[in-house]
Amino acid sequence: LPIQTREELDMRTWFLLALLVVVGIGIGVGVALGVFNPAPNASDAGNAAAPAADSRMPELPPSDGPQPHVRVDKTEFDFGEMERRATGQHSYVFTNRGDYPLKLTSGGTSCSQCTISELPKDDIAPGESASVILKWTPRSEEEHFRQTATIFTNDPNQRSITLTVSGRLIQSLALAPPELVFNNVTPETHSESKARLLVQSSQPVKITGHSLTDEATAAFYVVSYAPLAEKDVPTGYKSGWEVTVTLKPGLPFGAIHQRIRLKTDLPDTPEPEITVMGNVSNGVSVFGHGWVAEAQVLRLNVVKRGAGTKRTVNLLVNGPHRKEVSFRLLSTKPDFVKVTLGEPARLEAVTQVPLTIEIPPGSPVVNCLGGQGHELGQLLLDTGQPTIGQVTLKLQFAIVDG
Amino acid sequence: MSKQALVTLPLLAVSFVALLGCPAGQKGSDPPADHSATADKGKAGESDGNHDKAASPAAVPGDEIFVGWPKPKLAIVITGEMNGYLEPCGCAGLENQKGGLARRHTFLKQLEKDGWPLVAVDLGGAVGRYGRQAELQYQLVSDALAKMGYAAVGFGPKDLRLPEGLAAVVANDKNHQLIAANVSVLEQTQPFRVVEAGGMKVGITSILGEEYCKSVKNDLVAVKNPRTALAEIVPQMQKECDYMILLSNAKPEESETLAKEFPQFDVVVTGGGAEVPDHLLTHVDGTKTVFVELGHKGMYAIVLGLPEEKDQPPRYQRVPLDARFADSPDMKKLMADYQEQLKQMGFEGLGIREKLHPRAHAPGDLAGQFIGSAMCGECHKTAYDIWSKSKHAQATESLAKAVPPRLADPECLSCHVTGWSPQEFLPYEGGFKSLAETPRLAGNGCENCHGPGAAHVAAETGKDLVLRGQWRETMKLSKATAENQQCAKCHDADNSPEFGHKGFDYYWSKIEHKGTR
């Protein structure tokens, strides 16, 4: 190696030292900013979550020269109240406070209902400003909305900017609630529920008629409507109607599905639709693993003869006679099926009784799966209450050798 | 030691001091300077890359998470309002859709693996519909949340409509995960729960908003005024807890009012917010209470990172549950079991009853009967050719090929077969039953848009020319009707987000057919 002069040595030393200081401080700052992901325990979640750099991002300027510096006056905008399907727009002003041209590209939006309709095509010169316009057409049924749009930049300190739009949707006609539920309706009684049709505009609206989409059960529904008294109209609405839906006795057991379309004299407005849901039962319902309400069947599936099986479900009794019910086993089919009725829990609105069904180990091989001449098993219970009478629970199972 | 080394070493030490002096990543240290994910909305009016880190929006390129976070003293993970969206269905490509229990579980496991002290809470709102399938979903979500170790779960207004499913979940709630101050299900619900994590005692309660209380019509459920209920339990919670969370199943306006009336809560999580949660930390106006919206359909989890210093605000992160999180095998198994249950129960067990097509006047009416696309193709050869090459023709096949197959799931079938009402998840009379029973109705066929074809075919083969002409008119579908009424029944924002992006014309070009050929 050539002999170095004292000056050369000093220069090298100082250069090396300066480099070390820069590197050390750089690492320190990097750690502070999380660039090097120093939190050892946060690393996996952070790394797993970090998406790769996006190809839509504009190229960065050379790091040793002038830089752009983006500034946005306000990244959030509240549209306030908006009509559903109306289109709103807002202009966000981007200013370049740096000394290198600022480039913007679209990073997409959080939903199709929000679009970046205008993005500066040319670079924003230092000291200049340009607008990014977001357009928003709410189609959702929800009252509140918030969507974001991402703008990528070539500012190394802020590679992306999230613009947010938010607001509240109003509609000329609103149903509260839009769905009516009739839980555990008994076939012999009337049931009633109410919804309100609320009107936002000051122009009076009249319900002129209605139709039901499920014609097969339409005869069991009575729909009536009356204007709401002024005091009953909630804040934010000008008027309203009370819609009463009554179920007549005779609906078949099982699920209720119906839709009631209300006709109004408001032009160019979709017909408000009340969804009616629920179920018709005899006042006694069962819950627990394997219970199929519509078929009134408890599925025990295939049981090995040597092992047997045991299953506990719960009987729930609602309706006016719930407190008078006292279950008693009348019979089982096949007769080797064992049944234990637990202590009833008499709650305010329901009576709950645990019911354990056991197929003891060593029971004979049998097919009670139903179909093709194989009858389902069953339990016959007396409720001790004359109106409800007896209750039959079907059992679906087969016992096989093993 | 050389002079060079003598000068170098102290400076090296200075460099390391600079390194060690940086707070991030050290237990008990101050939070790092980058507050990009913790910016207070109240101060976040403007964005300035260099000077106001607190006002920076989300990190590059918008969806990174936990950038610059040290290990928090405690991480509170908040979810809810799944509305029945147990998984992203993948109709529009899994990479485009967020949410799902399987991704959520993986995310939680990652935090756990990283050693973050965790408390996970769920607002409730597991289901969005009513009926047997919703009951199964409610039970599945409850099982899943128990498996994921959730500390507390509230009741959404639609959860409380369920009869047997709700009873079954409450009966199985051995760990008393389900909590509510003003709701009691089968008289078994605890008003609040206290859990210990990260050296803190965290108290969690939930309420059902006043407006929602009015619409509860379920014999299993008793409700009382949320204010009265909170007034009863808050003093007790204060005694027992260092940190208090209210899960408020109410609209944001009501939740905010409650937050002001009960400032003892550190966090209020509200229901009924916007589809997408805020990406910045928000406080209730004039208070220190953190206000959290969750977005819809369980697409996001919100994480609050509590710092070591009590007087510091928590860090905030909106976590999009997107494809970066792999599916958890445990949750995938639950989903497979769920599909098996649907299959076992069948349509009858699920309470799925055929309904008349709007064109039919009575059961058996030809006007409401489906014939299948192949028969349409016997006359309309060009249209059939276009259809059979489109994705509509493969719609049922895609369900059969899914893992697990979704051929027993009415929520999938309603848009993937012929002869169902897409928005009601119900078959029309004579609509698709199964690949074995009704193979001709596989695929999203001609009759889903044009209406049932049996009466049209009968008219074509009959002698009544007037009737023939009438049915030809009835079967026509204009582009305007397709755009305004028909396509969006399936291509909605939930299941076809790209439809809105690319627009009707883009999709129309894939299936466009004119005239009678």
Q: How close B379 gets to chain A, by Cα (Å)? A: 32
Residue A190 is predicted with a pLDDT of 86
Q: Which of A16, A29, A31 to mutate to test the interface with B (most CBs of B within 10 A)?
A: A31
Residue A3 is predicted with a pLDDT of 37
The model's pTM:
0.79
Residue A139 is predicted with a pLDDT of 66
Task: Output the six-digit token pair for B438.
Answer: 């009704």
Do B156 and B81 meet the contact criterion of CB atoms below 8 Å apart?
yes
SS3 state at B222: strand
**Which 3-state string (H, E, C) describes B396-442?**
HHHHHHCCCCCCCCHHHHHHHECCEECCCCEEECCCCCCCCCCHHHE
Across the interface, whether the CB atoms of B274 and A20 are under 8 A apart is answered: no
Across the interface, whether the CB atoms of A147 and B352 are under 8 A apart is answered: no
Across the interface, whether the CB atoms of A32 and B7 are under 8 A apart is answered: no
Q: Does B235 touch chain A (CB under 8 A)?
A: no
Q: Which residues of chain B have a CB within 8 Å of the CB of A67?
A: none
Partner residue facing B11 (CB), from A20, A292, A314 = A20
Across the interface, whether the CB atoms of A112 and B500 are under 8 A apart is answered: yes
Do B189 and B170 meet the contact criterion of CB atoms below 8 Å apart?
yes
Partner residue facing A51 (CB), from B25, B61, B361 = B61
Residue B250 has pLDDT above 60, yes or no: yes
CA A295-A298-A303 angle, to 5 degrees, is 135
Pick the residue with more confidence: B136 or B51?
Answer: B136
Residue B383 has pLDDT above 50, yes or no: yes
Task: Output the six-digit token pair for B272.
Answer: 């009924």
Q: Does B432 touch chain A (CB under 8 A)?
A: no
Across the interface, whether the CB atoms of B46 and A292 are under 8 A apart is answered: no
Residue A16 is predicted with a pLDDT of 53
Across the interface, whether the CB atoms of A293 and B219 are under 8 A apart is answered: no
Residue B6 has pLDDT above 60, yes or no: no
Q: Does B9 touch chain A (CB under 8 A)?
A: no
For residue B246, give the nearest of B279, B196, B197, B284 by alpha carbon: B284
Phi first, then psi: give them for residue A139, nearest 5 degrees: -115, -15
Strand partners, A399: A303, A366
Residue A10 is predicted with a pLDDT of 52
Residue A213 is predicted with a pLDDT of 86
Q: In sequence order, what E strands does A111-206 have? A: 114-118, 129-136, 144-155, 158-170, 173-176, 179-185, 191-199
**b/e A286-307 (16+ beta carbons within 10 angstroms → b):** bbbebbbbbbbbbbbeebebee
Q: Which residues of chain B have a CB within 8 Å of the CB of A70?
A: 47, 49
Residue A2 is predicted with a pLDDT of 36
Burial class (CB in 10 A: 0-12, 13-18, 19+), B94: middle
Q: Strand A144-155 and strand A129-136: pairing?
A: unpaired
| Cα-based distances in Å from B433 to B76, B197, B217, B347, B402 | 45, 51, 33, 9, 18
Partner residue facing A316 (CB), from B107, B167, B274 = B167
Residue B41 has pLDDT above 80, yes or no: no
Residue B21 is predicted with a pLDDT of 32
Residue B229 is predicted with a pLDDT of 98
Q: How close A27 gets to chain B, by Cα (Å)? A: 6
Pick the residue with more confidence: B398 or A372?
Answer: B398
**How many CB atoms are located within 10 Å of the residue B385 CB?**
13
Phi first, then psi: give them for residue A43, nearest 5 degrees: -60, -45
Q: Which residues of chain B have a CB within 8 Å of the CB of A49?
A: 63-66, 319, 324
Say how far apart CA B15 and CA B118 lie, in whole Å.
35
Residue B408 has pLDDT above 70, yes or no: yes
Residue B123 is predicted with a pLDDT of 98
Say how far apart CA B387 and CA B223 lie, in whole Å.
53
Residue B454 has pLDDT above 60, yes or no: yes
Pick the residue with more confidence: B94 or A174?
Answer: A174
Q: Which of B17, B38, B48 to mutate to test the interface with A (most CBs of A within 10 A)?
A: B48
Pick the residue with more confidence: A342 or B51?
Answer: A342
Across the interface, whether the CB atoms of A43 and B12 are under 8 A apart is answered: no
Taking only residues 259 to 288 of chain B, the set having a beta carbon closer than 8 angstroms to any beta carbon of chain A reads 272-279
Across the interface, whether the CB atoms of B107 and A74 are under 8 A apart is answered: no
Q: Does A19 touch chain B (CB under 8 A)?
A: no
Residue B91 is predicted with a pLDDT of 67
Q: Which residues of chain A have a CB within 8 Å of the CB of B160?
A: none
Across the interface, whether the CB atoms of B7 and A13 are under 8 A apart is answered: yes
Tens digit of pLDDT for each residue in B311-354?
A: 889 999 999 999 899 999 999 999 999 998 898 888 888 888 88
Q: Which of A85, A87, A257, A312 to mutate to test the interface with B (most CBs of B within 10 A)?
A: A257
Q: Which residues of chain A have a CB within 8 Å of the CB of B169?
A: none
Q: Which of A14, A15, A33 to mutate to test the interface with B (most CBs of B within 10 A)?
A: A33
For the residues B484-492, what does the mean pLDDT come to? Answer: 83
For the residues B289-300, what does the mean pLDDT come to? Answer: 94
Q: How close B46 gets to chain A, by Cα (Å)? A: 4
SS3 state at B258: helix
For B26-35, B196-205, B399-408, which range has the lowest pLDDT when averaged over its residues?
B26-35
Say how far apart CA B186 and CA A107 lie, in whole Å.
50
- The residue of chain A nearest to residue B128, with distances taken between CA atoms, is A179
For the residues B484-491, what does the mean pLDDT come to? Answer: 84
Task: Output the six-digit token pair for A378.
Answer: 């069953």
Name residues of chain A where pLDDT drops below 50. Answer: 1-9, 24, 26-52
Interface A-B, measured as beta-carbon pairs within 8 A, has a size of 298
**Which 3-state string (H, E, C) describes B276-291?**
CCCCCECECCCCCCEE
Across the interface, whether the CB atoms of B161 and A183 are under 8 A apart is answered: yes
SS3 state at A262: strand
For A294-298, B135-139, B365-369, B448-452, which range has the lowest pLDDT when averaged over its residues?
A294-298
For residue B360, give the nearest of B352, B368, B369 by alpha carbon: B368
Tens digit of pLDDT for each residue in A362-396?
A: 999 999 988 778 899 999 999 998 888 898 999 99
Residue A53 is predicted with a pLDDT of 61
Q: Residue B110: in which H helix or E strand, if any?
A: helix B101-113
Tens digit of pLDDT for each residue in B97-153?
A: 889 999 999 999 999 999 999 999 999 999 999 988 998 999 999 999 999 999 999
What does the radius of gyration of chain B's CA atoms come to, in whole angstroms? Answer: 28
